[in-house]
Amino acid sequence: MKEGRDHQLAATAQQRGAIYGLLSRCYGGEVDGGLLERLKDKGFSQAISAAGFPFDREELHGPIESVLEELAVDYAWLFLGPGVHISPHESVQRPDAEEDGRQFWGTVTGQVKQDIENSGFVYDNAFSGIPDHIGVELEFMHHLCMAEAEAWQNLDPAKARESVCHQKRFLEEHLLIWVPSFCEKVVRRAQMSFYRFIAHLTRDFIFSDHKMIGSCDGRQTQAA
Amino acid sequence: MIKINRRNFFKLGAAAAAVATTGAGVLKAAEVKEGGKDFSPETGAERKAIPTACWSCVTRDAMVGFVEDGRLVKLEGHPESIRGRGKICSKGQAGVNQLYDPDRVLYPMRRVGARGEGKWKRVSWDEALTELADRLKKLKDEGHPEKFMFHYGRMKGSSSKIIKSVFLENYGTGTVGNHTSICEGGKWVAQELTWGKHYDNWDFENTHYVLNFGSNVLEAHTNSIPCGQRLVDAMVDRGVKMVTFDVRLSNTATRSTEWVPIKPGTDGAVVLAMCREIMAADLYDPEFLPFVKATAAADATVEEKVAALKRHLDGYTPKWAEKISGVPAEKIKAIALEFARNKPACVISYRGAVAHYNGVETERAVQMLAAITGNIDNPGGRCKAVAAHWKYPKGPKNKPKKKKLPILDGFKGDIAYPNHHANHQVLKMIKDGQAGRPEVYMWYCYTPVYANGDVQENIDILKDEKLLPFTVSANAYYDESAALADLILPNPSYLEWWDWEDMVSPTQVAEYYIRQPLVKPLGECRDLKDVVCDLAERMGFPLGFKSAEEFVKMSCEMTPGVREAGGFEYMKKHGVWHDPKATPAFYTYKKEVKPEKLKKDGVILDEATGVYWNWKKAHAESETAARETGYTKTKNAYKGYVGQLIDGKVYKGFKPDKVNKSGFLELYSTLLEMKQFNPLPTYFPVPEHEKMGTDDLILTTYKVAVHIHSRSGNCKWLSEIYHENPAMINSRTAARLGIKTGDKIKLKSPSGEIVTKVQVVEGLVPGVVAISHHCGHWQYGRYASGKQSPQNGGGDERDSRLMWWDSHGVHPNWIISNRPDPIGGQQCWMDTVVNVTKA
- Measured in angstroms, the CA of B619 and the nearest CA of chain A are apart by 50
Rounded distance, CA B545 to CA B537, Å? 10
Q: Which of residues 775-814 of B touch A (CB under 8 A)?
A: 788-799, 802
The answer to whether B32 faces chain A, any CB pair under 8 Å, is: no
- Secondary structure letter of residue B241 according to DSSP: E
ipTM, interface predicted TM-score of the complex: 0.83
What was the pLDDT predicted at A187?
94
What was the pLDDT predicted at B595?
96
The dihedral over CA atoms of A12, A13, A14, A15, expressed in degrees to the nearest 10, equals 50
Peptide bond into A82 cis (omega under 30): yes
What was the pLDDT predicted at B24?
77
What was the pLDDT predicted at B577?
98
Rounded distance, CA B810 to CA B787, Å? 15
What was the pLDDT predicted at A213?
87
- Secondary structure letter of residue B591 according to DSSP: P
Closest CB from B20, B483, B522 relative to A82: B483
**Closest residue by Cα to residue A87 from A197, A158, A17, A186:** A186
| A29 interaction partners in chain B (CB closer than 8 Å) | 24
Give DSSP secondary structure letters for B28-68: EE---------B-TTT--BEEEEEEE--SSTT--EEEEEEE
The answer to whether A29 faces chain B, any CB pair under 8 Å, is: yes
Inspect the interface and report whether the beta carbons of B25 and A21 lie closer than 8 Å.
no
Strands B641-646 and B611-614: antiparallel
Rounded distance, CA B112 to CA B601, Å? 60
Inspect the interface and report whether the beta carbons of B104 and A83 lie closer than 8 Å.
no
Inspect the interface and report whether the beta carbons of A35 and B19 lie closer than 8 Å.
yes
Q: What parts of chain A have a pLDDT lower than 70?
A: 1-2, 97-102, 215-224
The answer to whether A52 faces chain B, any CB pair under 8 Å, is: yes
The answer to whether A57 faces chain B, any CB pair under 8 Å, is: no
Mean pLDDT, residues B550-558: 98
The dihedral over CA atoms of B311, B660, B201, B369, expressed in degrees to the nearest 10, equals 0
What was the pLDDT predicted at B457?
98
Q: For B439-495, write each residue's pLDDT tens digit.
A: 999 999 999 999 999 999 999 999 999 999 999 999 999 999 999 999 999 999 999
Radius of gyration of chain A (CA): 18
**Closest residue by Cα to residue A140 from B32, B21, B23, B18:** B23
- φ, ψ (nearest 5 deg) of residue B436: 95, 165
Whether residue B776 contacts residue A66, with contact meaning beta carbons closer than 8 Å, is answered with no
Mean pLDDT, residues B37-46: 68
| A14 interaction partners in chain B (CB closer than 8 Å) | 13, 17
User: Would you give the end-to-end CA distance of chain A in angstroms?
Assistant: 24
Q: For B327-385, write each residue's pLDDT tens digit.
A: 999 999 999 999 999 999 999 999 999 999 999 999 999 999 999 999 999 999 999 99
Inspect the interface and report whether the beta carbons of A142 and B22 lie closer than 8 Å.
yes
Q: For the purposes of burial, counting CB atoms within 10 Å of the CB of B837, is it exposed (0-12), middle (13-18) or buried (19 or more)?
A: middle
Q: Which long-range contacts (CB under 8 A, 24 or more apart) does B229-237 make?
A: B229/B85, B229/B87, B230/B204, B230/B205, B230/B506, B231/B202, B231/B204, B233/B204, B233/B205, B234/B204, B234/B205, B234/B207, B234/B210
Kindly report which listed range (A25-39, A115-129, B87-101, B739-753) carries the lowest average pLDDT score: A115-129
C-alpha distances in angstroms, B26 versus A143, A191, B137, B170? 11, 27, 36, 39
User: Which pTM value belongs to this model?
Assistant: 0.92
If pLDDT is split at 50, 70 and 90, which confidence band does B792 have? very low
C-alpha distances in angstroms, B634 versus B247, B252, B606, B630? 42, 44, 11, 6
Whether residue B606 contacts residue B641, with contact meaning beta carbons closer than 8 Å, is answered with no
